[in-house]
Structure 1
Amino acid sequence: MSIRVLVADDQELIRTGLAMILDAQPDIDVVATAADGLEAVRLAERLRPDVCLLDVRMPVLDGIAATRRLAGPEAAQPLAVVVITTFDLDEYVYGALRAGARGFLLKDAGPALLGQAVRAAAQGDALIAPSVTTRLLSVFAAGEPGTVPRQPFEPLTEREEQVLRAVAAGHTNTEIAAGLFISLSTVKTHVASVMAKLGVRNRVEMAIWAYETGRKP
């Protein structure tokens, strides 16, 4: 079955372009587009798409607030959200990731990476643009003075530390499996274990925790 996607961006040209790129991929179907965050939330709650692709800066309701409503801890039935922005060091992006977004891309990422991010989000995975992963997360994690990162409920094993760093570097499960010479199912087991030990909801929060605690890739 096709992955059902909602695209929200206040610029009509960009919104239309993103929708055309995604619709051109055989396994993705754009079911709705929105020009502002509030419209995106209303459409998403009604249509329940598999993935919501949201711009950060939108009128009426910005991308952070929309993400929080759709994917945050208070969302009764959270949806997968991928944030997309023009800026690779946008202060709003960190807030969007904190609000529950599963991925982050730049608008110049290209059709292939855009499709990968949507597929990853639909599968419960996450993809952060590799070109900005280290810059974005390290800058904004360091920019929260006085914050003491929570400690894991149980110590991470050496292999779990390796997987955590790989996730923080923006690698997919398949890439991690190849890099560590382990099976894909083993990677998924380690990722699930790390999430449980850290008390986080997704891979993005894993990456943020890694940067907050100095575990840079």
Structure 2
Amino acid sequence: MRRLRGDIRSAATRALAATTAVAVMSSTAAGCASEVAGTAIPTPGYSATAAASTPPATSPTASAPAATPAPNGSTPPSASAGPSVPRSSATGIPALAGIWRGSYTCNQGRTGLTLTIAAGSASAGTATFAFAPLPDGPTVPDGSYSMSVTRSHGGVEFLPVAWIQHPSAWTMVGLTVPGPVNWSGSELTGSVDYAGCSTFTVTRSVQ
């Protein structure tokens, strides 16, 4: 009976000693924790791997508007680009189209002439021959008639066709511009094809 009581007392002593050791360890741990106050402590569920691989959040920024084509797919012109004026490369009768003013000389004296040329093709067209008095010339009536225009032997030939305004006792005359013709030139000169007549000269009129 005494031995049993001794064993019980010994077991109780050992249990008390173990409890005291646990308490001491808990107190030591608490002291260590108090020494690291201010150190970052991960929150529950924190993953170091996930944190390292997750890019930092960035605030949304306005993106530049997408480039869009100009209307009808064209490229907008440069503000510094000037207008482009193509130079005419026409030759033959089309190059002569327009109004030409000058004079011709026949028996009545130097007379005013307006020659209006219209192209039909590269080698043919039509014209109107209109005559009138010049300020320093003889007194003559106004008149006009149509003509055919053709390329001939490197030059240009104007042949009378029909009266438009016919003054009494007047006759239609033809014109010849000898070749080679300066198609881009501003002057035409040649012969008046009728007895008693000589030459004509006309200058391109600026429209």
- TM-score of the superposed pair, with normalisation by structure 1: 0.21
Of Structure 1 and Structure 2, the greater helix share is in 1
Q: Flag the structure with larger Rg.
A: 2
Greater strand content: 2
